[in-house]
Structure formats: structure tokens, C-alpha cells
Amino acid sequence: MVHIRDVWINWFEGEENGYNVCEFHEWRSEDRIEVLDQAAVVKVTDALYDYIENNICDLPEQLLNDVYRKSYLRKNMSRIELDYCFIATNGEGIIAVDTLGYKTPIRKSRLTPRQEQIVFELLENEGFTPYDVESSVEKKEYHILSPHPDLMKGLTRKERQLKQLLFMALDQLYSSKNAAEIRYWYTEWSPHHYLDIQMMDMEEAWQSLYHEIKDGWTSNHYHLCEAIVKGQPFFEKLWEIEHGESVK
């Protein structure tokens, strides 16, 4: 098995969607960077790579067996053995994984551009390892709390985080079943449609609002997000974490 040394890692924990495992250019100074003294590298099929990158489901047993205790974390002067940690590539994308001893990819990270190049060079002449993905695994379904990658395409890390916060607030708004409140926020988003919005029932108003905001990210999205989270402590905290200041 191929190995790589001195790998900078920025773990994103519990992320089922690959777009939330930030590329190196989106890493922040406050992120906690670790170093893998040694990491096992596997070349996998496109199907398995997508499965690893965009799910938190059980990994193939054979893959876990092959990488078992073959990667090490460097901490101070110590070298800590990791049960199931590895770097996977399909020849195009690269992702590092640590299961924290379980069978699912709990933590994921990208690599630095230089280390990505090293991985590609190491595996240039290697074949794909035919690990089986469980045939019973159903096709992943996206929803408002796990948006489709197309809805996040082209956005920065901050924009993706705020958009997911906005979606969380909209989901809570839907759960309230408060037609007047939903119409209010739709009017905030689209004031020139005020009269039409007042004629809508709860379902129509919410669906129309969601349909209009789900694509892209603009200053209108930003201001709606800022307004809709105000007065909700949990959402306000998430806003502060991502934005660096309190909701106005």
C-alpha cells in the first residue's frame, strides 16, 4: 500500500456533503490544523469516492481492513496510531478520512495543493482497488437541511454557511405552520409582490419563497438571513460564529 508523509489536515467533522469539506484556499487561521506523520493512500472508483465524500455511511469492510492502523498522527513529540484513517482518490478528487475508530467517515479533510500533487504522482500508475459499495445503499436524497451541491456551487465558505443557516431558519418557519409569519417573510423578500402574497395560503407562500431563494447568494439573501435569525438565540449564535459579529 502507498503511503504519504507529513500531511497537513484540517478536519471537518460530521459533514455528509463534500462541499462542506473546505478546499485548502478556504482554510482559516482559526481552523485547527493537524499533521499526519504518515497516511495510507488508496485509489478507488468514482462510485466509492462519491460515496465517501458525500455520505456518513459504513465503509466497505475490506477497505477498513486494508488501512487498519497504517496512518499516524503527529502530536508534539509523539506518533499516535489511528485505527481507520486514510486518503482516498479517484484520480481527480482527493479526500482524507478518519473514522475515529468507527466504520463511518466521521472526519474529512482536503489536502494542500502540493500534497495533492504528490498523491497523484504516487498513484499515477496504480489501478483502482475494487472495493464493493453495499448494493443496498439507496441513492442519496437531498433536502432543505442537506442541500443539493448545485445550490452551493460557486459560493464561498462563508456564503455556504450562511445559506445553510437561512435554510435552517426557513425549515423552522415551515414547521411553525404560521401562514401570516410566512407571508410576512415572503413580503420582506419580495415586497413588490405584496398583494399577490396576501392571497396565498401557507403552503403556496412557503414553497414560492423557497423556490425564489434556493439558487445563488446575493445581498438580498444576506439581509433576509440576518433579519430572520434575529431574536432566535441558537440561530443568532450560528450567525455570530460565521459572521464574526452580532445580528444587528
Cell of 212: 425564489
pLDDT at residue 136, rounded to an integer: 46
In contact, 51 and 137? CB cutoff 8 Å: yes
The tens-digit pLDDT sequence of the chain (248 residues) is 899 999 999 999 999 999 999 999 999 999 999 999 999 999 998 889 999 999 999 999 999 999 999 999 998 889 999 999 999 999 999 999 999 999 999 999 999 999 999 999 988 877 777 787 765 456 788 999 999 999 999 999 999 999 999 999 999 999 999 999 999 999 999 999 999 999 999 999 999 999 999 999 999 999 999 999 999 999 999 999 887 655 55
Check residue 146 and report its DSSP letter: B
Q: CA-to-CA distance for 103 and 60, rounded, in angstroms?
A: 8
Cα 224 to its chain centre, rounded Å, is 23
Q: In the prediction, which pLDDT does 6 show?
A: 94
- Give the DSSP per-residue string, 36-76: EEEEEEEE--HHHHHHHHT--SPPPHHHHHHHEEEEEEEET
pLDDT confidence of residue 247: 57
Whole-model pTM: value is 0.89
